[in-house]
Amino acid sequence: MVQSKIAPQTIPSFEAALGQPLTKTNITVLQINLGRKCNLSCSHCHVEAGPQRTEELSPEVCDQLVDMIHRFPQIQTVDLTGGAPEMNYGFRPIVAAARNQGKEVIVRSNLTIFFEPGYEDLPDYFAQNQLRVVASLPCYLEDNVDKMRGQGVYQDSIQALQLLNQKGYGHDPNLIIDLVYNPPVPTSENFSLTPGQGGLEKDYKAYLYEHFGIRFNSLFTITNLPIGRTKFHLKHRQLHEPYLHFLAKHHNAGTVAHLMCRNELSVDYLGQVYDCDFNQMEGLPALDAQGQPLTIKSLLERGTLNVIDHVQTRSYCFGCTAGSGSSCGGSLV
């Protein structure tokens, strides 16, 4: 694990580090943030989701997304996030449309939603539709998880994983369950890169199987980007700029070819289009060649998804290229 204590300095631009703009490739992933409603309020949440949030997809935008899924066979994966995606309007209609078209559907679940009234059928629903579950479990130890996500979240998560195992997840090759590791938000300038994904995955698998009989497919290690609640906590401790500089210092050019923003569209609950979920949270829209912001409606009118030349970048993008890299699918190299 790399550690460093760094004084604030000028942060280089991401494009300067690359020596050129970051280019978009053929779009194959449609990631949809269905809304901000969630049954949890996690300290590291870059979406700032929670039980008091009410923003969610409208029927009009849902219909546009269903139309897009039907019209563009190049979309191979529909990635549903939130908030708790299961709580927000459009979740099941979009799942139905994507699965009917033979597309992979990822649901980024907090697992504890299974125990909320009205959502008890989710384990069966996930299995019946062969949804790929990507679930946050920021540590395999109870105390660390509850500190980040709330009291009792660890035990609910363990029970939910056992339910998914009973439905075939972690055993059936068509029922994939992946876990996500997030490091604690830094509290001092002794920053560190995310631990190696392979070694940590072995530790997770050994501990969860030995203590709870739980099996899962892969562990994804994701760097905390200085966005949302993480940004708030860093600024509160005057660590925001030092943390950005630390990430920039550990930029790995070998990760750039694999960045998730290059082949995906990120859509918010209003139907606005972004290059990635992080840009979405920062209000940085994807632009066409003429510099105009894009929406799902405008893409449908154009009849093509490949209208973006350059990805919009900011200094927080170094969070995705530091060390082994970071994406919604874990490390990049």
Examine the pLDDT at 11 and tell me if it is beyond 90.
no
Tokens of 293: 């912001």
For range 303-323, the mean pLDDT: 95
Q: So what's the pLDDT on residue 211?
A: 95
Q: So what's the pLDDT on residue 331?
A: 87
Tokens of 235: 């600024």
pLDDT in tens, 45-104: 666 666 677 789 999 999 999 999 999 999 999 999 988 899 999 999 999 999 999 999
What pTM was estimated for this model as a whole? 0.91
Neighbour count for residue 106 (Cβ, 10 Å): 22
pLDDT in tens, 90-115: 999 999 999 999 999 999 999 999 99
CA 213 to CA 194: how far, in whole Å?
26
Q: What is the 3-state secondary structure (H, E, C) of 194-215?
A: CCCHHHHHHHHHHHHHHHHCCC
Q: What percent of the chain has pLDDT over 90?
A: 72
State CA 86 to chain mean position distance: 15
For range 174-191, the mean pLDDT: 91
CA 24 to CA 310: how far, in whole Å?
6
Residues 6+ apart with CB under 8 A from 13: 313, 315
Neighbour count for residue 259 (Cβ, 10 Å): 22
For range 222-245, the mean pLDDT: 90
pLDDT in tens, 121-150: 999 999 999 999 999 887 787 777 767 666
Q: So what's the pLDDT on residue 329?
A: 82
Tokens of 26: 């053929």
Q: So what's the pLDDT on residue 248?
A: 95
pLDDT in tens, 197-215: 999 999 999 999 999 999 9
